[in-house]
Amino acid sequence: MSHDTEIQHIFVSLEDRPKRLDVFLAEKTGKTRSSIQRLIETQKITVNNKAVYCSYKPKTGDKISIITEIQQETTLLPEPLDIKIHYQDDYIVVVDKPAGMVVYPCIGHKSGTLLNAVYYHCRKLANAGLPLRPGVVHRLDMDTSGVMVVAIDDSAYYKLVEYFKKRQIERLYKCIVYGRIKADTGEICYHIGRSEHDRKRMSIKTKRGKEAITTWRVIEGFENATFLGIKLGTGRTHQIRVHMASIGHPVLGDKVYGKKMQIMKGKKTYTLQRQMLHAEYLAFTHPITGQGLGFQSQLPKDMQDCLDFLRDK
């Protein structure tokens, strides 16, 4: 067990009346029902070491395990990490996140994150989101590269959160997917939620999915891969990766939803180190000045190398 967590065990006795798990634990622990539900959905609560749903009714003899994080005083430290800054003023900073970098500190990544770098270069961050996510209004997966905006002022933070909620920010991505897509354009509208079989994954096969819209267009087709431009209509967790996998064209190099870690061209093989997904363009209205802003991130070398291989250059 990580030193950042502790486990509480509750055993169901004969005296315990049958109730939904979330209701039962709210009464037993004094926690709110919503907080219990979040712990169940993220598999921090298990019954007999197995993941269950909130509606599960505990039986006599069941062992309920609750994993909780130990709250520790943690200070975000500035680190002189090399990142590209597209724009910076007293309210926001727009940066290029390299693949392999986590956005904010978490278990297993206490340092070396994008926020450590932003704090070093800007010397300030918004208070909203403290202690470890100050100014974070959206994020990219660790193995996704590209352009991001971070608030370094509270007023800018809350305005940007509103922009994202109202879908007033334009986000364009480039990705390379497995297989040749025949159509020129398409739209995927499957709802996305937690997988019912693996709570660490997202899925379109879920009872609690939220609306998700992904629009794609073919930029270039190859024998067994396709280079796509993608526009997000919503911003669900792992949205592009889940949606592309759902139509049989997972993102190349995606270890979770596709597992296509190699691509063939004739007798040659190209091995991928990470998912071929890049946040290329971000456009929004400045949250304070009202100025229209747009930022473009150059396609990273590993994705360009993959395209060159597919083009046989």
Q: Is it the case that residue 1 has pLDDT exceeding 70? A: no
Query: What is the Cα–Cα distance from 295 to 250, expressed in whole angstroms?
Result: 27
- Give pLDDT, residue 239: 97
Confidence category of residue 19, pLDDT binned at 50, 70, 90: confident
Cα–Cα distance, 35 to 23 (Å, whole number): 11
Domains in the chain: ranges and CATH: 5-69 (3.10.290.10), 84-165 (3.30.2350.10), 170-310 (3.30.2350.10)
**pLDDT class for 129, splitting at 50, 70, 90?**
confident
Question: By CB neighbour count within 10 A (0-12 exposed, 13-18 middle, 19+ buried), where does 120 fall?
Answer: middle
Distance CA 185, CA 149 (A): 28
Task: Taking residues 214-239, report their average pLDDT.
Answer: 96
How does residue 75 score in pLDDT terms, banded at 50, 70 and 90?
A: confident
Category of 268 on φ-ψ map: left (φ > 0), alpha (ψ -120 to 50) or beta = beta
Instruction: Please check the confidence at residue 223 and state whether its pLDDT lies above 50.
Output: yes
- Cα 65 → chain centroid: 26
Strand partners, 149: 94
Q: Which pLDDT score is estimated for 308? A: 96
Structure tokens at 128: 């909203």
Please state whether the peptide bond connecting residue 250 to the residue before it is cis, i.e. omega within 30 degrees of 0.
no
At 141, the pLDDT band (50, 70, 90 cuts) reads: very high
Rounded CA separation 75/131 (Å): 7
- Give residue-wise pLDDT tens across range 264-311: 988 899 999 999 999 999 999 999 999 999 999 999 999 999 999 999
Average pLDDT taken over every residue of the chain: 91
Segment 23-46 mean pLDDT: 88
Active site residue 141: yes
User: How remote is the C-alpha of 14 from its chain's centroid?
Assistant: 42
Residue-level pLDDT at 2: 39
Number of H helices, E strands in the chain: 6, 17
pLDDT for 4 beyond 70: no
pLDDT at 247: 97
pTM (two decimals): 0.77
Percent of the chain scoring above 70 in pLDDT: 96
**What pLDDT sits at residue 74?**
56
Q: What is the pLDDT of residues 55-67, one digit of tens each?
A: 999 999 999 999 8
Q: Read off the pLDDT of each residue in 139-156 and give the average, rounded to a whole number.
A: 96
Helix (H) or strand (E) holding 268: strand 268-271
pLDDT band at residue 217, thresholds of 50, 70 and 90? Answer: very high
Length of the chain: 313
State residue 64's pLDDT score: 94
Q: Percent of the chain beyond pLDDT 90?
A: 73
Question: Stretch 239-257: mean pLDDT, rounded?
Answer: 97
Phi, psi values for residue 218, rounded to 5°: -80, 125
pLDDT of residue 8: 86
Residue from 62, 96, 141, 254 carrying the catalytic annotation:
141
